[in-house]
A and B are shown apart, each in its own frame.
Chain A
Amino acid sequence: MSMVRFDQVAKRYSGGKEALAGVSFELERGEMAFLTGHSGAGKSTLLKLMMLMERPSRGQIFVDGQNLNRLTPSQIPYHRRKIGVVFQNHQLLFDRTVYDNVALPLLIAGYNHMDCARRVRAALDSVGLLGLEGRKPVELSGGEQQRVGIARAVVNKPALLLADEPTGNLDPDLSEEIMDLFMRFQQVGVTVLIATHDISLIESMNKRRLILEHGMILEDRHVF
């Protein structure tokens, strides 16, 4: 069973703009793929549909075997707990410490404090930020902030990791480090889908590429 399956998915916003026009693809478990295309090609919409931040106008989406159309609003939070997300602007809470930021998904899922502390340390360690728990995000560099965002996305050990322009604000060296991190998560079995327009960065990475244009998949370049 694939981790993600899109079946003729279309999304038309209430303004009439068609963001996706019949997209089909599958992501296998443990696969890593890039989603590219011009801005406005539908990358963000595709990720939002998987997070149920939006509902498709047509078609079906399966995540971990679950048909998302069948999920009621009250089931959405539990669906989201299965997915880690990384944002371009990392969406950190700037009045909280690094620890509190990373621990948020665990608190929400109802972990006790000991488990929580252990998992937060493990997550921070995996992104190379162990020891910065007590800092505020504002004291960190852009690259470090993004890694806190990644730590928060993986702290709950999700089977699926989504990233929306995770290197958007970073210089090439830092971007490479971030991509390196994502590859490491793939190596331990996480399915990873990264939306990015940074073609030069992913050219060298030898991963599958889904190229979106005008709401359609223009090219699905598998790497074997």
Chain B
Amino acid sequence: MSSNRRNDPRAQVGASLAERPAETRSRPESGPGALQQHIGFKDKLVAGFLHHQMVAVETLLQLLAHPASSLMTWLVIAIAVTLPGALWMSVSNVEQLSGSIRESGRITLYLNDTASNEQGRQLAATLERLETIDEVIFISHEQALENFRRTSGMADALDLLPGNPLPVTLVVQPASSLDATSIRSLSERLREYPDVAAAQLDMAWLERLRAWLVLVQRMVWVLGGLLALAILLVVGNTIRLAIAARVDEIRVSKLVGATNAWVRRPFLYTGLWYGLVGGLMAWLMLIVLWLLLKQPAADLASRYGSGFELAALEPAAAMVLLIGSMLLGWAGAWWSVSHHLDEIEP
């Protein structure tokens, strides 16, 4: 077939070598056919960069070529990122809300045992005239006993007592302009009043809210950790299937001199794309969620006379989610690749 082809200069296996002497290293003892091109470090660096670029684009195109299956994985990742993201958003909103709430603890004043209902009423009237106090609720001996009977469940025991042991009680609502320290000093001053036996500052509900917030924040971390693990497993499994589908290619590539890094590269990029697109979709979902909840939340707040507005996820937090999602995709791919790729040897 080929004596004329043999004379064709293009047919000579080593013919093209003469064109680029700078890159080539001739080995005269081997003849032209045995020449191997020597590639310099800079060329290798450029080629490596180009290969990264090429693999990045190719893997994305490959994912887009199978939109149905890719979308499934993307949605799973998006939902897994959205859940902790939404919780995070709510927590930071409640945090902001609780910060803006006036630190209005109520002060409960217990009067001396000897103080009568009438003395209590007088004190209440005096206190109500103070600028630092909005409102005073008066609770008489009898009312206190009745409240206690109702709430304690010890009605029978109370009947055994000779008299009414409960003091007159005043519940003081400080002015809304007061901050936490002023309320505390007000509470101190009220204790000095002659008929007052004890003053109890009740900021417990605010502290309870804080405790709840800490708990929920902890839950966000735990949930986030679990869902991160889920992303790792989902991406890992998807990459495992991708590896299984390309066993031949991997084997042939290794036979013609592919390094493990070279074989790994497309799978790592695939994981990165899963994470990035999943993260972007999660971001989108969080924005939609915010848009959906914004109006109802404002309505609810206005019922409480508050001008509270639901804040969207800050860009910095969104970036954290996005980068986290990308890293998880990459790590899932890495985990899968390091488990399954080394098993494939030619």
Contact = CB atoms under 8 A, between A and B. Distances in A.
Interface of A: 29-30, 51, 53, 74, 77-82, 85, 91, 93, 104-105, 107-113, 115, 118-119, 121-123, 125-126, 128, 130, 152, 154, 156-159, 177, 180, 184-185, 187-191
Chain B interface mostly: helix
Contacts of A104: 252-253, 256
B255 A190 contact: no
A104 B43 CA distance: 18
Contact of B257 (A30, A78, A128): A78
B255 A91 contact: yes
A128 B5 contact: yes
Interface stretch (B32-40, B102-110, B150-158, B296-304): B32-40
B7 to A, nearest CB: 12
B257 A77 contact: yes
B1 A188 contact: no
Contact of A188 (B16, B32, B259, B260): B32
Interface residues of B, number: 47
Contacts of B255: 51, 53, 80, 85, 91
Contact of A110 (B6, B27, B43, B248): B43
B51 interface: yes
Given A81-B256, A91-B252, A110-B48, A189 B5 contact: no
Interface in B301-346: 345-346
B248 A74 contact: no
A30 B28 CA distance: 12
B156 to A, nearest CB: 84
B5 A157 contact: no
Nearest to B342: A73
B207 interface: no
A190 B34 contact: yes
Given A80-B254, A188-B14, 13 more contacts: A74-B259, A74-B260, A80-B255, A91-B252, A109-B39, A110-B43, A110-B48, A112-B46, A119-B16, A122-B13, A156-B257, A157-B13, A185-B13
14 contacts: A85-B255, A91-B248, A91-B255, A104-B256, A109-B39, A109-B257, A110-B39, A111-B37, A111-B39, A115-B20, A125-B8, A156-B256, A157-B13, A188-B33
